[in-house]
Amino acid sequence: MNVNLIVNGKAHPVEISPGDTLLKVLRSLGYFGVKHGCETGECGACTVLLDTVPINACIFLAAQAEGYHLETIESVGEHPQQGWKTTSGLHPIQEAFVESGAIQCGFCTPAMILAGKELLNREPNPSEAEIREAFSGILCRCTGYIKPIQAVLRAAAALRGEEIEPFERRIPASFDFLSDDADSSTGFDRSPGEPERDEPAGEVITATRVMPRIQVTPEIESWQRVGKPERKVDAVKLVQGKPAFASDLEKRGMMVAKVLHSPVAHARIKHIDKSKALALPGVAAVLTWQDIPRVVYSTAGQSDPIPGPLDSFSLDNKVRFVGDRVAFVAAETEEIAIQALELIEVEYEPLGAVFDPGQALQPGAPILHDEPEYVNFAESDPSRNLAAEIRIDIGDVEKGFADADHIFEAEYEVPKVQQAHIEPHVSITYWDEDDRLVIYTSTQVPFHARRQLAPVLGLPIKRIRVIKPRIGGGFGGKQEILSEDVAAHLTIATGRPVIYEYTREEEFIAARSRHPMRLRMKTGVKSDGTITANAMYALSDTGAYGGHALTVTGNTGHKSMALYVGDGDYRKSPNIRFYADVVYTNNPPSGAYRGYGVPQGFWAVERHLEKIANDLKMDPIEFRTKNSVREGELQPFSTAWSEGREPQPEIIETCGLEECIRQGKAAIGWDQKHGNQGWHKVQGKPHQRRGIGVALVMQGTAIPYLDMGSASIKMNDDASFNLLVGATDLGTGSDTVLAQMAAEVLGVAMEDIIIYSSDTDFTPFDKGAYASSTTYISGGAVVRAAEGAAKRIRLRAASMLNQETDDQLVNPEDIRLVDRRAVSPDGRSIPLTEIALETLHHSDQEQIMGIGSFMSPVAPPPFAAQFVELTVDVETGQIVVEKLVMAVDSGVIVNPLTASGQVEGGMTQALGYAVSEEMVYDSQGRARETDLRDYHIFQAHEMPDLTTIFVETFEPSHPFGVKAVAEIPIDGVAPAVGNAVFDAVGVNIDNNPITPEKVWRELKVKEGKA
């Protein structure tokens, strides 16, 4: 059918199918700022304005839109300088998003800008609550919503003509900076027009701030770029909705791939007939296990050798979970591909299925991996459904228990949860003009993907080029190689470009997720609170495949069990045990998810320690700090385990944990609230109780002796620099902080650094974005590369300066690079532009450039104190979290805006882990959660107050003193919520998420009514 769509004032007469969504048609017309994140209107990434009203284009038919005026992000503003042409520039709201650090991955940014613009058109002076309401239909998994909201407030002020305070200054942390409002926890700011709340206990505070509080280290005072809230280098393109993401790539003749997923949990494919599907007009290829080489591999993107079993095939003659792959289809359109899937006839021979990891270990349990190609790693044993086994004893654990006055034992459980990045997995593959396969993909691990896919595709590494464009969030989910091989096999089969993009349902049934675990704790403690021995056993469910099985679960113990070493002599020689079995089941596979096993461990450890402190009648924080590891001490696990490699001892050089506690306590008003019975009651609401909780956490920074990043940098004619890094910015802002480090070393402005990342043909190697490593590892490489270039610049500058005079000769090493000049100690200087022209064109011509690699023998841990304040409804069991505070020692903070964005977003994800997120399956292994309606992630209008405090230390193993920040925010929120529930109503919930019914049941037990 033909329709005429008016988009951004331009008429588009187009021929469409009646069922085409507005999203599909707008993108086909080139409006790539309209994003696909789901198919049910839940995520809002496809927001457009329909006669000024924000709607979701994924659930709106293009035919419905005829007769309306549509606005997309492409109409809002554009880059102000376009060669000889100047434009009206970015809209104030776009400017505000750029400068406020409101953008992380940027996938939801066009939607938020449109929603914010629409709000400002009808309300020039909106309240924060009104902005939250305007954003309520747009999910953001990165930011925690604070900075986008602040951006709209700043844009509103700008549009009203008010002066806007710049974000230049750092806000110093002060232990009492929030004392005035420490008790103002009932200041709920109701959404516009929102009626009087009938609902649950507690109220949500919406006060926010953009810049974090920072207790600074003295080292940073002289720096010009590092430590400053620089704009993200990719912000301007993202606020314009430019086609920067994988699915935005257009290729002539590109086909659409779809995957047939298994409806059964465990079966052998007895017979498969694809003839009817192949006969469907528009179908170019249908691939089954019979059509492609049988190559065993791991989908986990990790360094060589893969620290886990090889147990996967692109397609197999056996399915091992509901959602497993059965066949691939490539067709001219998505609709034809879906129809073709229906025409594939499959006869399954059912095999017994096992969903409980404990049962899977029992003799006689169904065996998932009986294929002869299976490659073991370490103690994996597929004949027992064992993907990995860990047995770590540090010190003399049994003696430690014998020394104890008290033994505390308890069991805990954590659920399977989803990364829920708003951009689904997506890959585009095509043959280039040299018959090399290009994989354009939303990945966290482009170099691993190239290496690991080569044998699977029957290509040498050198004939594969992997390009990572912008990523719409990954959180570990894209450390898995899941969509690339599907598209690649189909490109090989057909010779044509192919796009394979997950649906939201596929994300839930066929991607990866956090390992669910059962954790058993046993802790020996003396009556004075000294921990004498601590033991954890983890039964971890890796699901049908064992990617990340060993390493995720290893980190469960490696971080959470390392934080508490004991006191006195035990501090010098701690007694710690960590045993784990990582088990195959017929559940969907687990994998990497931000935190990488550590949140699971801290759920158990921090809940357990809270109970012990309570039983011993000790202050929970004093009990923790008495036993926690300190600066100058050994990371106890460093001599015992290193992700399947040889462990090496690591001394903890910096630990700001005690200061984090002090700052966090002040921020949340701990001393006024904890133990204050009056505060726990809610005036006028006898069915509500307030609670306050804490958890201490530590993470790591990269994998020692393994993780390597590299960089190259070259100087251009205008003294700008091309910085090439293999590092993979998945929305975190790593390209920005890497550019900041280069700019600092070279003494130039941020706009002088042109960074290009993650293209296996053009950028040097980097292991990829995981293990909280990029700022530290890739940053170290950038510093070395920049120092190499800087050294040549100083040499040439000294030569040029020394030509001017016969007097005092300048030593190159004494030249400083600052403000785009090379400055000698006597005050003379040369602009870098002159040095660039001199070296490229005038004399002794050379290309000034530098290269650098960085690998670290240590993984310096960041530390944090995480606090929660909440209200419990004692009649319903419902909890409402009202305040989250995180004080974190992540070393030096390179960019306060991007770093605090990591903390805010991480805390928000962790809040879901605490109260709402879980993946549940029925007795046949079918998922309860297949969309973002049932899998509820926090929305803008239901968020608690978030406070971020950085306690800087200077980590000596890094040139700029940095440690990790990306993962640690997700570690402690859930146990802090659990501890706050205990503080509020005296019941212990040992399995998260803490749902109303669980609290209600425990309250019944406490009341003796169970």
Partner 1 sequence: MIVEYYRPQNLAEALALVDDPETKTVFMGGGSAIDRYKIEPFAVVDLQDLGLNTLRTKGNTLEIGATATLQAVYEQSQIQTGLKNAIYREASLNLRQVGTVAGTLVASDGRSPFATAMLALDPSITLIPGEERINLGDLLALRDKNLNSKLITKITLPLNVQLAYQYVARTPADLPIVCTAVALWPSGRTRVVLGGSGETPILAMDGPERGGAEISAAAAYSQAGDQWASAEYRQEMAQVLVKRCLSRLDR
Q: Check binding of 134 to partner 1 (CB under 8 A).
A: yes
Q: Check binding of 56 to partner 1 (CB under 8 A).
A: yes
Distance CA 228, CA 765 (A): 28
Q: Which window, 192-200, 622-630, 704-712, 769-777, contacts partner 1 (CB under 8 A)? A: 192-200
Q: Which of 9, 161, 166, 195 binds partner 1 (CB under 8 A)?
A: 195
Q: Which of 156, 326, 915, 974 binds partner 1 (CB under 8 A)?
A: 915
Best CA proximity match to 415, nearest among 540, 321, 507, 509: 540
Angle at 192 between CA 189 and CA 196, to 5 degrees: 70
**Least distance (Å) between residue 185 CB and partner 1:** 16
Query: How far is the CA of 903 from the CAs of 83, 138, 250, 290, 885, in angstroms?
Result: 38, 20, 35, 47, 10
Q: Check binding of 198 to partner 1 (CB under 8 A).
A: yes
**Least distance (Å) between residue 512 CB and partner 1:** 22
Beta bridge partners of 61: 21
Q: Which window, 301-309, 670-678, 868-876, 890-898, contacts partner 1 (CB under 8 A)? A: 868-876
Q: Check binding of 129 to partner 1 (CB under 8 A).
A: no
Phi, psi of 437 (to 5 degrees): -85, 120
Q: Check binding of 529 to partner 1 (CB under 8 A).
A: no
Give the list of residues 6+ apart from residue 684 with CB closer than 8 angstroms, or none.
none
Q: Which of 8, 28, 64, 376 binds partner 1 (CB under 8 A)?
A: 64
Give the list of residues 6+ apart from residue 870 with CB closer than 8 angstroms, or none.
202, 690, 691, 692, 693, 879, 880, 881, 882, 883, 977, 980, 981, 984
**Least distance (Å) between residue 145 CB and partner 1:** 12
**Binding residues among 990-1009 for partner 1 as defined by CB under 8 A:** 993, 995-997, 1000-1001
Strands (E), 332-373: 345-350
Smaller CB separation from partner 1, 804 or 934: 934
Smaller CB separation from partner 1, 342 or 717: 342
Distance CA 391, CA 754 (A): 47
Q: Check binding of 159 to partner 1 (CB under 8 A).
A: no
**Least distance (Å) between residue 942 CB and partner 1:** 4
Q: Check binding of 273 to partner 1 (CB under 8 A).
A: no
User: Sign (positive/negative) of CA torsion 619, 623, 626, 628?
Assistant: negative
Q: Check binding of 19 to partner 1 (CB under 8 A).
A: yes
Q: Check binding of 138 to partner 1 (CB under 8 A).
A: yes
Q: Which of 95, 99, 133, 983 binds partner 1 (CB under 8 A)?
A: 133
Residues 283/331, Cβ–Cβ less than 8 Å: yes
Burial status of residue 269 (CB atoms within 10 A of its CB: 0-12, 13-18, 19 or more)? buried
H helix intervals, 389-466: 397-403, 446-457
Q: Which of 228, 941, 958, 963 binds partner 1 (CB under 8 A)?
A: 941
Strands (E), 351-443: 386-394, 406-414, 426-431, 437-441
Q: Check binding of 799 to partner 1 (CB under 8 A).
A: no
Give the list of residues 6+ apart from residue 196 with CB closer than 8 angstroms, or none.
none
Q: Which of 5, 61, 702, 872 binds partner 1 (CB under 8 A)?
A: 61
Best CA proximity match to 382, nearest among 398, 394, 365, 399: 365
Smaller CB separation from partner 1, 298 or 339: 339
CA atoms within 13 A on the CB side of 208: 30
Q: Check binding of 922 to partner 1 (CB under 8 A).
A: yes
Q: Which of 30, 200, 282, 455 binds partner 1 (CB under 8 A)?
A: 200
Scanning the structure block, which residue is given the tokens 């109701």?
A: 190
Q: Which of 5, 25, 26, 54 binds partner 1 (CB under 8 A)?
A: 54
- Give the β-pairing of 85-86 and 81-82: antiparallel
Q: Check binding of 72 to partner 1 (CB under 8 A).
A: no
**Least distance (Å) between residue 997 CB and partner 1:** 5
Q: Which window, 377-385, 431-439, 461-469, 872-880, contacts partner 1 (CB under 8 A)? A: 872-880
**Least distance (Å) between residue 497 CB and partner 1:** 24
Smaller CB separation from partner 1, 196 or 304: 196
Smaller CB separation from partner 1, 59 or 216: 59
Q: 192: part of which helix (H) or strand (E)? A: none
- Which residue type sits at 520? R
Smaller CB separation from partner 1, 64 or 614: 64
User: Sign (positive/negative) of CA torsion 830, 833, 839, 843?
Assistant: negative
Q: Check binding of 63 to partner 1 (CB under 8 A).
A: yes
Smaller CB separation from partner 1, 119 or 609: 119
Smaller CB separation from partner 1, 338 or 851: 338
**Least distance (Å) between residue 971 CB and partner 1:** 21
Smaller CB separation from partner 1, 42 or 735: 42
Q: Check binding of 196 to partner 1 (CB under 8 A).
A: yes
**Binding residues among 356-375 for partner 1 as defined by CB under 8 A:** none
Distance CA 849, CA 721 (A): 9
Q: Which of 875, 956, 986, 1005 binds partner 1 (CB under 8 A)?
A: 875
Smaller CB separation from partner 1, 10 or 933: 933
Q: Which of 162, 194, 347, 826 binds partner 1 (CB under 8 A)?
A: 194
Q: How is the beta sheet containing 753-757 ordered, strand by strand?
A: 753-757, 721-725, 708-715, 849-855
H helix intervals, 561-699: 569-572, 598-615, 620-627, 657-668, 670-673, 677-680
Q: 151: part of which helix (H) or strand (E)? A: helix 146-159
Beta bridge partners of 286: 329
- B/e letters for 485-521, b = 16+ CB within 10 Å, e = fewer, are bbbbbbbbbeebbbbbbbbbbbbbbbbbbbbbbbbbb
Scanning the structure block, which residue is given the tokens 């925010």?
A: 969
- Which residue type sits at 642? S
Distance CA 246, CA 426 (A): 7
# chain residues binding partner 1, by CB under 8 A: 64
Smaller CB separation from partner 1, 194 or 761: 194
Q: Check binding of 880 to partner 1 (CB under 8 A).
A: yes
Q: Check binding of 60 to partner 1 (CB under 8 A).
A: yes
**Least distance (Å) between residue 116 CB and partner 1:** 12
Q: Check binding of 916 to partner 1 (CB under 8 A).
A: yes
Q: Check binding of 819 to partner 1 (CB under 8 A).
A: no
Q: Which window, 199-207, 272-280, 669-677, 762-770, contacts partner 1 (CB under 8 A)? A: 199-207
Best CA proximity match to 392, nearest among 233, 266, 497, 537: 537
Give the list of residues 6+ apart from residue 805 with CB closer than 8 angstroms, or none.
none
Q: Check binding of 44 to partner 1 (CB under 8 A).
A: yes
**Binding residues among 276-335 for partner 1 as defined by CB under 8 A:** 335
Q: Which window, 422-430, 582-590, 648-656, 929-937, contacts partner 1 (CB under 8 A)? A: 929-937
**Least distance (Å) between residue 8 CB and partner 1:** 19
Q: Which of 176, 273, 342, 751 binds partner 1 (CB under 8 A)?
A: 342
Q: Check binding of 928 to partner 1 (CB under 8 A).
A: yes
Size (the chain), residues: 1010
What Rg, from alpha-carbon coordinates, does the chain have? 28
Best CA proximity match to 445, nearest among 647, 591, 291, 258: 591
Q: List residues binding partner 1 (CB under 8 A).
A: 1, 17-19, 21, 39, 41-42, 44, 47, 53-56, 59-61, 63-64, 66, 115, 133-134, 136-138, 191, 193-200, 204, 335, 338-339, 342, 873, 875-878, 880, 915-916, 920, 922, 928, 933-934, 936, 938-939, 941-942, 993, 995-997, 1000-1001
